[in-house]
Amino acid sequence: MMMPLKPADPTFPPSAAATEEDLGNSKRVADRYLKREALGEGTYGVVFKAIDTKTGQTVAIKKIRLGAQKEGINFTALREIKLLKELKDSNIIELIDAFPHKGNLHLVFEFMESDLEAVIRDRNIVLSPADIKSFLQMTLKGLAFCHKKWVLHRDMKPNNLLIAADGQLKLGDFGLARIFGSPDRRFTHQVFARWYRAPELLFGAKHYGPGVDVWAAGCIFAELLLRRPFLQGTSDIDQLGKIFAALGTPTPAQWPDMVYLPDYVEYQHVPAPPLRSLFPNASDDALDLLLKMLTYDPKTRISAQQALEHRYFTSIPAPTKPALLPRPAPKGESLSHRPPDLNVQKGPIVLSPPRKSRRVTLQREDMEGNVYDANKADDHVKEVRYTGGSTCPSESMPMSVDLAAAFGSKPFPRPTLNSADRSHLKRKLDLDPEFGYTP
Ligand SMILES: Nc1ncnc2c1ncn2[C@@H]1O[C@H](COP(=O)(O)OP(=O)(O)OP(=O)(O)O)[C@@H](O)[C@H]1O
């Protein structure tokens, strides 16, 4: 859940020589870090601001509880964390350090001022085509860098695209989904992540590749153009319905492997509406790239590197320089939460039977907001209508409301390490000076 960051603190960043007294009553964490205020809580745990006394740098520390739960991380997690530490690029958030402390695993990241979600939601910001190009270019650069090293993100969404003080966009939470397990989508925290899920994941693909990140980046590109999430499904079936309503139901010719996917469900065929009708203000180049990023078959979907070479990035206007990009208002005042309008496109109608042989018809909303059936349902089949509106907050809900509280959902279990992992991890981290922690 996105929590507003505090407005800029005039005492930060402190000089490298800052002492504990200079910083008031900050608690020390693992000797090296002086703990400041909490920044928020996400899927993996609480994040707080801190000062790295070694460098004077402000950092964000993600605290991941190492409980004695069954669902722990496995031993390869350590190697993966080490790998992430080596993943250094100007469009990737740097993992500065990782250490266990008081039963928690702490991941130390460079501190970031804002994120793309806050930019998109800030109604005082006008995003020019050049600004959108710049945000997308930085996103793709970060992705291309990691994909070259065979690291997938797997949880791309606007609030994971953080923005540094110099305007650089950096991908956050890279690889964490793999280390700590894919976040559980049943929980409110993760409900928005579905909107960026590639169709192969929604159809249950067990083997997938960098295309899942490119699909998500395509959805983020669409969101930058629309200034609202593009495909707001309320369940996985509804998500596929939203995708098909916008892009047309994929045919086996378009995506031959689709029918072999574990959760494949046959959807009634609807043709794609002209993309231009969904994005009236986008350039032809922007739409061409968008369509290539949102290609159904992951084998033919454009790669992040190919996307960077698309003519969209060389045609005018040139991407805005990061330092000149618009900044959101201080987070406390900005509209950093998801808008409650989850019902932009109506959901699909699922036709029984409910399992593999079920077929789904789609509803569409035209530009004037009129809802119509994209394909008339067969008369003899019972209809079950999925609509986003029934479970979603209304338009008038305050932007800062905690959706978890609003829906009465229980706090979700954090990914944890089991005790064997924990002692192994602690031993390994403590003994390995390369890893950045010496007790
Ligand atoms: N490197 C960072 N610098 C500054 N603030 C950060 C940093 N990383 C996370 N935050 C803030 O900490 C809070 C929790 O972030 P976290 O990444 O754990 O979850 P999230 O992105 O809000 O949600 P999710 O877990 O669903 O992705 C957010 O408010 C986020 O803006």
pLDDT digits (tens, 9 = 90+) for 273-319: 999 999 999 999 999 999 999 999 999 999 999 999 999 999 999 99
- Cβ of 2 closer than 6 Å to ligand 1, yes or no, is yes
Per-residue pLDDT band for 82 (boundaries 50, 70, 90) equals confident
Q: How far apart are the first and last CA of the chain?
A: 33
CB 162 within 8 Å of CB 322: no
- Cβ of 162 closer than 6 Å to ligand 1, yes or no, is yes
**1 CA → ligand 1 middle, Å:** 8
Measured by CA distance, the residue closest to atom 22 of ligand 1 is 2
**Residue 47 is assigned to a ligand binding site:** yes
**More confident site: 435 or 64:** 64
Distance CA 81, CA 178 (A): 10
- Cβ of 47 closer than 6 Å to ligand 1, yes or no, is yes
Per-residue pLDDT band for 76 (boundaries 50, 70, 90) equals low
236 membership: H or E segment, kind and range: helix 236-247
Distance CA 143, CA 201 (A): 18
pLDDT at position 179 is 65
Distance CA 54, CA 33 (A): 8
- Cβ of 159 closer than 6 Å to ligand 1, yes or no, is yes
Label residues 259-295 b or e (16+ Cβ within 10 Å = b). eebeeebebbebeebebeebbeebbebbbebbebbbb
Measured by CA distance, the residue closest to atom 23 of ligand 1 is 42
Please tell me whether residue 398 adopts helix, strand or coil conformation: coil
The ipTM (two decimal places) reads: 0.97
Judging by beta carbons within 10 Å of its beta carbon (0-12, 13-18, 19+), is residue 316 exposed, middle or buried? exposed
Report which ligand 1 atom has the smallest distance to the Cα of 114.
Answer: 31
**Residue 45 is assigned to a ligand binding site:** yes
166 annotated active-site = no
pLDDT at position 83 is 82
**62 CA → ligand 1 middle, Å:** 8
Distance CA 128, CA 317 (A): 9
Judging by beta carbons within 10 Å of its beta carbon (0-12, 13-18, 19+), is residue 372 exposed, middle or buried? exposed
**Residue 6 is assigned to a ligand binding site:** no
Distance CA 414, CA 43 (A): 7
- The pTM (predicted TM-score) of the whole model is 0.73
- Cβ of 115 closer than 6 Å to ligand 1, yes or no, is yes
**More confident site: 44 or 76:** 44
pLDDT digits (tens, 9 = 90+) for 380-429: 222 222 222 222 223 222 222 222 222 233 332 323 333 333 443 343 33
**42 CA → ligand 1 middle, Å:** 6
**Residue 39 is assigned to a ligand binding site:** yes
The mean per-residue pLDDT over the stretch 53-81 comes to: 74
pLDDT digits (tens, 9 = 90+) for 179-217: 665 544 444 345 568 999 999 999 999 899 999 999 999
Ligand 1 pocket test, pick from 3, 36, 47 with the greatest ligand atom count within 8 Å of Cβ, gives 47
- Cβ of 289 closer than 6 Å to ligand 1, yes or no, is no
105 membership: H or E segment, kind and range: strand 104-110
- Catalytic residue selected from 155, 173, 213, 238: 155
Measured by CA distance, the residue closest to atom 8 of ligand 1 is 60
**Domains within the chain, CATH numbers bracketed:** 27-110 (3.30.200.20), 114-324 (1.10.510.10)
pLDDT at position 175 is 64
pLDDT at position 374 is 40
Distance CA 57, CA 60 (A): 10
DSSP 248-291: -PPPTTT-GGGGGSTT--EE---PPPPHHHH-TTS-HHHHHHHH
Q: Output DSSP code: residue 385.
A: E
Q: What is the mean pLDDT of the chain?
A: 73
Distance CA 194, CA 157 (A): 9
Instruction: Give the least confident one: 76-80, 254-258, 272-276, 310-314.
Output: 76-80
Q: Which residues contact 221 (CB under 8 A, 6 or more apart)?
A: 132, 136, 286, 289, 290, 293
**244 CA → ligand 1 middle, Å:** 31
**Residue 321 is assigned to a ligand binding site:** no
Distance CA 367, CA 372 (A): 12
The mean per-residue pLDDT over the stretch 47-59 comes to: 94
Measured by CA distance, the residue closest to atom 1 of ligand 1 is 111
Measured by CA distance, the residue closest to atom 13 of ligand 1 is 40
- Cβ of 95 closer than 6 Å to ligand 1, yes or no, is no
Judging by beta carbons within 10 Å of its beta carbon (0-12, 13-18, 19+), is residue 306 exposed, middle or buried? middle
**37 CA → ligand 1 middle, Å:** 13
**Residue 42 is assigned to a ligand binding site:** yes
